[in-house]
Structure 1
């Protein structure tokens, strides 16, 4: 049984996430009230598929993040930031730029909205919060969560503007069907660029990721119209053109993104496994804990077993698993010459906490002390 810990690794982000979340919630409620006031019936009907799409996508991102889960407070902050600050900024800038409807949709909107969604990294990657960004998965996660908040509020607006049953059905198909992962997919390109910049250097990499995000967004917004015009299709043919653009362009991009994130998760898994023997030698974890953390099935079994002793015990077990995983990934990056002083500080902070835990699994305090082992200098 896991006893309550006397201390825990610091994963606080200060008051900033709380303030942003509270102000963002108020802003979203205000936006929703304005949207719903115009056409309450359509708004309520549109809220159903929008909410369903949001829940499904959030579950997918939480599954992606299950290896080293990000703090709930930062997840909520990113979601709220996307649905409030990013939406307000995009709306004001797009309204202020004079352009035709097509130019606004295909050029202005992608440039402005991708910048607005990427702004979440200004919040997440500053101060103590940047210690949470220890992997490519973390960057993709926060970009996707922010984009989901943006897409949810935007979808509500589009549904409220639908003037007929046909328009509403088309919105369901396009906004919560084909395009359900649209905004997260575009912003993923920016996230990859920012990750490459933060780990390898070169600001141009972040700029390149942002440009790719804008291009994908612009092709999705304007590609069907250009294709329909070139083929001489009528308004009804727009949907056919959209399906063609989706199949030819976005299905391969989507598959490629899934492949990249899956491979990255596997690499992170191998990185953690490679560090566990060193962590045992350094006294950070016990052999039993290392064996458990190295095997996802044993992780789940350990969490289920600790849950029999109450929420506090299960929370402590989760905390330990997360701390070990994060410390291992940090050390792997440091050994590869990546990261900076902040990453080293985070690694040392987690190492000290892990070493001083009173509740290590398999620990036998009544045994005579063993001769001290020299841990690797990296630890």
Structure 2
């Protein structure tokens, strides 16, 4: 039976590196279940409070009508962001947290802060109309974008492994804003329905229909578009080297300011004249949406090129077959591999192939960051975890990906050159021994399924940084 793949230890790694020292037990407030419990409780309480507030303002009937209409664009927006994230799909728990934060916590913060600020301005200026205008164009953009940006910041800080580039920032920001817009649309549509009822009209009359057309038909992407600027700022910061701390702080702030500016322009468009709204919509919103869509799709294509460029080194070392780097760099080939696995081995095998694809993509991005001098101190452990995941699933994934490669481009499947060609190094820049030195190549797996090479013991499952379920 083939032995488990292992990665060599690196005696040149500095103190505090993942391979050094015994695991330390975290304090009770650092335990995962405590953090998850506290966060879930916070979001649940926020959801209950915001539910009660919206129902109080709209009434039960208005709330139900608003809920039914506001939910219509949500599946389409979530599907679009999930599609963008298909190259290296992030965990569902991150998306669930982002949507819940936007719909519950961010919406509650915005409603409370906006109401307080508007009342304070009206009292200070004795001009309610001025307070409404100032609240919509200045206060609301600042409060709402900061509240939504908090979710992006939390994922960036506490789920750093899942936040590696621009696409991750766009997806987290977009899903958060989708949740926020969902709650806000319930409020606006519910109030519009109440206005129609007070005027004696029945059903979805003029005010409700107009509100639905503007917020759900014309501009369902408005809030996601604003917050995506913040996500791009965090995404570019994630691509920056850790030693460039000023850049990693300023870029998210620049993105947040752009989000606030676009939001303020959108909210203030009604004050630009009779056709101000349509002018802002046509001159700014639609072009910005088009440019950002092009940028994100272009970034996704670059990610696929990175996969094809970085994985051949692991194919030469025996971790992957020669055809896999090509297949893993094609979304069509990936889909065909999952379909092949489903047809021949069943749905659990298809999920295993999907997991294999995600881990291989993460491995390619990790190697790319290492060669660019942006790898973290946990590089060795992280690479070992990903290779572990690939080796466990190779028996199902390899025939599936081989089939996909033959179908998509049989003549274009590359044959890796001899080993020495891939002897380029990471150049990490911190003097790490072994893993980051020049001339580094991946160690080969041991056993009958791959070329033999001297290896060291595999990482223990009790290692503090070892988690076989995270890719």
Per the shorter chain, which TM-score range?
A: 0.7 to 0.9
Is structure 2 residue 167 aligned with structure 1 residue 137?
Answer: yes
2:262 match: 216
Which residue of 356, 363, 376 maps to 1:340?
376
Q: Which runs of 4+ in 1 moved over 6 A?
A: none
Partners of 2:101 and 2:176 within 8 A in 1 = yes
* Aligned equivalent of 1:313: 349
Structure with greater helix share of residues = 1
1:84 lines up with 2:104 in the alignment: yes
Q: Which moved more, 1:350-359 or 1:311-320?
A: 350-359
Unaligned runs of at least 5 residues, structure 1: 1-5, 8-12, 229-236, 364-371
- Residue 398 of structure 2, aligned match among 342, 356, 361: 361
Alignment CA distance shift 1:288-1:46 (3 Å): same
Aligned pairs for 1:264-279 within 5 A: 264-279=299-314
CA distance in 2, matches of 1:19, 1:208: 31
What TM-score do you get using the length of structure 1 for normalisation?
0.84
What is the match of residue 448 of structure 2?
none
Asked if structure 2 preserves the Cα contact closer than 8 Å seen for 1:46 and 1:160, the reply is: yes
Partner in structure 1 of residue 359 of structure 2: 323
Partners of 1:286 and 1:22 in 2: CA distance = 46
Question: 2:76 maps to which residue?
Answer: 56
With 290-299 and 321-330 compared, the bigger mean Cα shift is at 290-299
**1:111 pairs with 2:154:** no
d(CA) in 2 for partners of 1:350, 1:206: 29
SS at match of 2:311: helix
* Aligned equivalents of 1:18, 1:61: Cα separation in 2: 27
Cα distance between partner residues in 1 of 2:367 and 2:176 = 28
CA distance in 2 between counterparts of 1:171 and 1:294 reads 43
Range with bigger deviation, 316-325 or 67-76: 67-76
CA distance in 2, matches of 1:344, 1:149: 37
Query: Cα deviation per residue 1:196-254 (whole Å; 9 max; x = unaligned)?
Result: 233333122221111111000000001222x11xxxxxxxx3xx321111001111111
1:285 counterpart SS class = coil
Q: Secondary structure at the match of 2:72?
A: helix
Q: Please name the residue that 1:171 is paired with.
A: 211
Distance 1:137 1:344 in 2: 25
Give, in angstroms, the shift of residue 300 of structure 1: 1.1
Point out the more displaced range, 244-253 or 274-283.
274-283
* Residues matched between the structures, number: 349
Matched, 1:36 2:72: no
Matched residue SS, 1:134: coil
Question: Offset at 1:341?
Answer: 2.5
2:333 alignment partner in structure 1 = 298
Q: CA RMSD in A?
A: 2.5
Alignment correspondent of 1:368 = none
Cα-to-partner distance string for 1:254-291 (whole Å, 9 max, x where unaligned): 11101110111111111111112112113322224334
Contact 1:283 1:355 in 2 (8 A): no
Structure-2 change in CA distance of 1:105 and 1:347 (3 Å)? farther
Q: Secondary structure at the match of 1:91?
A: helix
For residue 119 of structure 1, give the secondary structure of its aligned residue in structure 2.
Answer: helix
Change (3 A) 1:199 1:66: closer
In structure 2, the gaps of 5 or more residues are 6-30, 122-130, 197-204, 401-417, 424-439, 443-471
1:247 aligns to what? 282
Give the TM-score normalised by the residue count of structure 2: 0.69
C-alpha distance in 1 between matches for 2:375 and 2:211: 44
Higher-Rg structure is: 2
